[in-house]
């Protein structure tokens, strides 16, 4: 009777292959979050008080893709409470470069940017003092797994005044994550379980 051995990984599989597999699994989990409406409402209910508490003047956020939490309603409410507040969306100028942020309001005309993601059309550049950053996965020590392009790590590293980094994710995607050299921890993570 032969012993059953799991197949050994291909010789060239390394941390990036592991992360690719982990990313695919987490994206599937995120797409299948049970009671999504309730989970999103709980994220919104935790996020708005955090933004109030942090006294942010310019908030960089993201246009939702691939079942990410849609922060637009929270951002609109946050903007409506103080006319001196500003919000901005990221644009990819070229792969490998940090993100550029451009001012956004609910009335801003949008155009299709890199990867087909809507970006503000012709608004001024902005320097956010806080960023909402979507997490494919996140760890208890506030490291995030993104889509693998490294845009947010490069952006956070390049900004002269470090913005407050707020990762947004779902509890189904909370994982043990081995941080890599270029990974920067979030200052806060917001999920449907609250703020940490």
pLDDT tens, position by position, 57-82 = 999 999 999 999 999 999 999 999 99
Q: Compute the C-alpha angle 120/48/67, nearest 5°.
A: 60
Pick the CATH number of 35-195 from 2.60.40.420, 3.40.50.10420, 3.40.50.20, 3.40.50.10600: 3.40.50.10420
- For the chain, domain boundaries: 35-195
| pTM of the entire predicted model | 0.89
Residue 190: φ, ψ to 5°: -120, 125
Largest separation between any pair of C-alpha atoms in the chain: 75
The residues, ordered by sequence, that sit 6+ positions from 90 with a Cβ below 8 Å of its Cβ are 60, 62, 99, 100, 101, 119, 151, 155
The confidence score (pLDDT) of residue 183 equals 81
The confidence score (pLDDT) of residue 15 equals 58
pLDDT digits (tens, 9 = 90+) for 13-51: 455 678 889 999 999 999 999 999 999 999 999 999 999
More confident residue, 182 or 75: 75
The confidence score (pLDDT) of residue 11 equals 41
Residue 38: φ, ψ to 5°: -65, -45
Flag whether pLDDT at 54 surpasses 80: yes
């Amino acid at each position: 009777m032969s012993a059953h051995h799991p197949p050994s990984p291909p010789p060239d599989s390394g941390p990036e292959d592991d992360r690719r597999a982990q990313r695919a699994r987490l994206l599937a989990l995120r797409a299948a979050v049970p009671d999504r409406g309730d989970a999103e409402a709980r994220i919104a209910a935790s996020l708005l008080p955090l933004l109030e508490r942090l006294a942010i003047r310019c908030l960089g956020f993201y246009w939702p893709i691939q079942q990410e939490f849609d922060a637009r309603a929270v951002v609109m409410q946050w903007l409506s409470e103080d006319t001196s507040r500003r919000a901005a969306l990221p644009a990819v100028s070229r792969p490998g470069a940090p993100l550029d942020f451009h001012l956004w309001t609910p009335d801003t005309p949008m155009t299709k940017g890199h990867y087909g993601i809507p970006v503000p059309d012709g608004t001024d550049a902005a320097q956010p003092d806080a960023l909402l950053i979507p997490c494919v996965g996140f760890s208890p020590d506030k490291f995030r797994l993104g889509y693998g392009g490294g845009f947010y790590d490069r952006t956070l590293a390049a900004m002269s005044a470090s913005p407050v980094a707020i990762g947004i994710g779902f509890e189904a995607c909370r994982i043990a994550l081995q941080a890599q050299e270029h990974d920067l921890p979030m200052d806060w993570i917001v999920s449907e379980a609250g703020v940490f």
